[in-house]
Structures are given as structure tokens and as C-alpha cells.
């Protein structure tokens, strides 16, 4: 009966085990410790010192990449919330945002009327006497 697991301890689900493991992606590793990084920055520590400490705890990141990822994370926080909303292009495209009485082709139509008033082709067949010989 040594092979049977006690009833109070269930074998861990593989997904639960994943949650306890260190992520393989460098950005994910950095995001896991990012709150502590922010606290260190707020306390006045330099990014260079934070970089050294990250390498000591097993996050193998270069200073240049840490600086780049810091910018990405900060921009992601400042991104507008609209990027998180579901795609509503169809609904937005159907809405009419033009003021009443607005005609975007009014200027073009007015120019065309002026051009037509200046010259119009005569109807019918051309006069043979007026043609150059």
C-alpha cells in the first residue's frame, strides 16, 4: 500500500504544476517579478542595480534588454483601454457621425455645374459647313 497516495493529497494537475514552474520566456519571467522591480525603482534604486540582482536570482537578462522590456511594459500600462475592447468595427461603421444637412460632395457638384454652364456640347450631328476643310 506504499504506492497508493493518501486520500487527502491528490496528485497535482499538470496545469497546476506549470503555474508553480518558472516561465521559459524572458518577458514572462520579468513580468513575474515586475511589482518588486517597480518597488525598487520607487525606492530610488537604479535599473543597473536591479539588473544585477535579477541576474543573481536567475533571470538571465542583459541590461539593454531589461531597459527595452521596461519601456514595453510601461507603454502597455499607458495604452488606451479601447485596445482591450472586443472588435466592434461592424457596429461602428454603420453609425452616422455626420451632422444633419452635411453633403461632402456639395463642393464638387457646384464646380461641375459651373463647368457645364461654361461649355456644353451641341446636340445632334455636327454642321458640315463649320468643319475645317
Provide the pLDDT confidence category of residue 46 given band limits of 50, 70 and 90.
Answer: very high
pLDDT at 11 over 50: yes
pLDDT at 4 over 60: no
Listed as own residue / partner, the contacts of 59-64 with beta carbons closer than 8 Å and 24 or more positions apart are 59/26, 59/29, 59/30, 59/33, 60/26, 61/26, 61/29, 61/30
User: CA angle, 42 as apex, 51 and 70 as ends, to 5°?
Assistant: 45
Higher pLDDT, 10 or 61: 61
In the chain, what percentage of residues exceed pLDDT 70?
72
Amino acid at each position: 500500500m506504499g504506492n497508493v497516495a493518501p486520500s487527502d493529497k491528490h496528485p497535482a494537475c499538470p496545469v497546476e504544476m506549470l503555474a508553480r514552474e518558472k516561465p521559459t520566456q524572458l518577458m514572462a519571467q520579468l513580468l513575474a517579478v515586475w511589482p518588486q522591480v517597480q518597488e525598487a525603482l520607487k525606492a530610488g534604486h537604479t535599473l543597473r542595480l536591479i539588473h544585477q540582482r535579477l541576474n543573481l536570482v536567475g533571470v538571465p537578462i542583459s541590461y539593454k534588454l531589461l531597459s527595452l522590456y521596461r519601456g514595453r511594459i510601461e507603454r502597455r500600462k499607458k495604452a488606451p483601454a479601447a485596445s482591450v475592447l472586443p472588435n466592434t468595427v461592424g457596429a461602428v461603421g454603420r453609425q452616422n457621425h455626420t451632422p444633419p444637412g452635411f453633403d461632402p460632395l456639395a463642393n464638387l457638384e457646384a464646380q461641375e455645374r459651373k463647368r457645364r454652364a461654361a461649355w456644353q456640347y451641341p446636340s445632334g450631328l455636327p454642321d458640315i459647313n463649320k468643319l475645317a476643310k
